[in-house]
Amino acid sequence: MGGLTQRALLSGRTTFGEGTSDRLRRAGRRGRRRRPGEPGCRRQRKGYAARPLSAQERQVLTVPESLAGVLLQDFLALSYPSVDRAVLRQLEGRGLVVVNGMPPARNGRLLPFDYIEVRVPMSELPANRGAASKSEARELVVLHETAHTLVIDKPAGEVTVPDRTGEQSGIHGRLLELRPGQDLRIVHRLDRDTSGCLILAKGADAARHFDRLFRDQLVHKCYVALVHGKVARVEQEIDHLLGPDPRRKGKVLAATKERDGYREAKTIARVREAFAQHTLMELQPKTGRTHQIRVHLQAIGHSIVGDEDYGGLPLLLSQLKRVYKLRTGLHERPLLARMFLHSERIAFPDVDGMQIEVQAPLPVDLQRALSKVANFGAARMRRQ
């Protein structure tokens, strides 16, 4: 009987301790199609599907094949972009997120067609703090004030005067909030994504005074910009003519020869600090043309980081780090959400003749971006 007794055969059990019927039952379980809701179930459904599961309004999401191997925390962040990651982690910790009907494994990765239940009504999930703060107007910081003048630190993301759509009133719409009852007037502009020194005149007489100063080029401005590439010349004057771009409304082109509609423009550019792939520039515009600094830097082959209208690219950590690996399912976010251009200093004679010089500190977002460029750029230069 080859080691099998008659009694063992009759009972269906072998001398190895496992019965034939046991093996058949295990094979049947393995071959049986699992019902939806059982652990390990693979639902043949692509894409995301959010629907109420019960009276508690549980949300159900299905993992698509394209996100195989994604971490649960990253999948939740992708599925609920308006919810803060910290809130989603709290839901996991409180057992309000389950995977295939089971508590999720710590740092576990998801498989295609796994289904995730979020046992909280969507209406009860708080909005992302960062998204909420973007919609709120930031406080206007006064850098300097005299009897005739106010210099503020304009935040990035706000227009100086109302745009063509009328959706944003900008700094102009906040003048009464800044100094109720005073006749504040804007005498020059900064682009939406440019931060820093902005002059406001108190009354019509002061406004006329600044109109005369700008016309006679007696207002001295200094900007800082992070540009792509290594700038070879430590100091140079950029004098390309500037004119309207016929293909893009509101945008500007540079030219080296005279053309109809083009005007003279001059910018003094100095290298403040050089990095492996970028250069921190100090810029002094001698004229005040629209987008002058941005177009002049593009014209010499060194566009401003993040200035996509004029050849700039987003600042990405993958470009700075030699070894960089992005987790499955995530899209790399730029280190900076705007272009790197800041109006750092401004100097002018006030209405009473007193010489005024004001400086705006580098905003936190630009400081962080510059720190990344400096740290990783220095490491690259050491290796080269």
**C-alpha pair distances (Å), 168 with each of 39, 84, 197, 212:** 52, 26, 20, 29
Q: Is residue 289 a contact partner of residue 263, using CB atoms and an 8 Å limit? A: yes
pLDDT, residue 378, reads: 58
Radius of gyration of the chain (CA): 32
**84-89-92 Cα angle (round to 5):** 135
Mean predicted confidence (pLDDT) in 198-216: 96
All residues at 6 or more sequence positions from 34 whose CB lies less than 8 Å from its CB, including other chains: 40, 41
Q: Cβ distance 127 to 88 under 8 Å?
A: no
Tell me what pLDDT residue 166 has: 62
CB count, 10 Å around CB of 308? 11
Architecture of domain 37-122 in this structure? Roll (3.10)
Place of tokens 């030699």: 322
Cα–Cα distances (Å) from 139 to 71, 191, 345, in that order, read 38, 18, 20
pTM score, whole prediction: 0.68
Q: Considering 84, 114, 153, 191, which one is annotated as catalytic?
A: 191
In this prediction, residues 22-49 reach a mean pLDDT of: 45
Q: Are 344 and 223 in contact (CB under 8 A)?
A: yes
CATH for 137-383, among 3.30.1490.190, 3.40.50.300, 3.40.50.11260, 3.30.2350.10?
A: 3.30.2350.10
Per-residue pLDDT tens for 38-90? Answer: 444 444 333 334 444 454 567 888 888 888 888 888 888 888 888 888 888 88
Other C-beta atoms closer than 10 Å to the C-beta of 258 total 9
For range 125-153, the mean pLDDT = 76
CB atoms within 10 A of CB 366: 23
Residue 226 has pLDDT above 90, yes or no: yes
Query: Of 181, 188, 174, which Cα lies nearest the Cα of 142?
Result: 174
Calculate the average pLDDT of the chain. 82
Q: Is the pLDDT of residue 133 over 90?
A: no
- Indicate the angle between helix axes 72-79 and 85-93, nearest 10 degrees: 130
For 334-368, the pLDDT digits (tens) are 899 999 999 999 999 999 999 999 999 999 999 99
193 part of the active site: no
pLDDT recorded at residue 66: 81
Where exactly are the structural domains of the chain? 37-122, 137-383
223: CB partners within 8 A, 6+ apart: 194, 196, 282, 283, 284, 285, 293, 341, 342, 343, 344
Return d(Cα 199, Cα 189) in angstroms, integer.
9
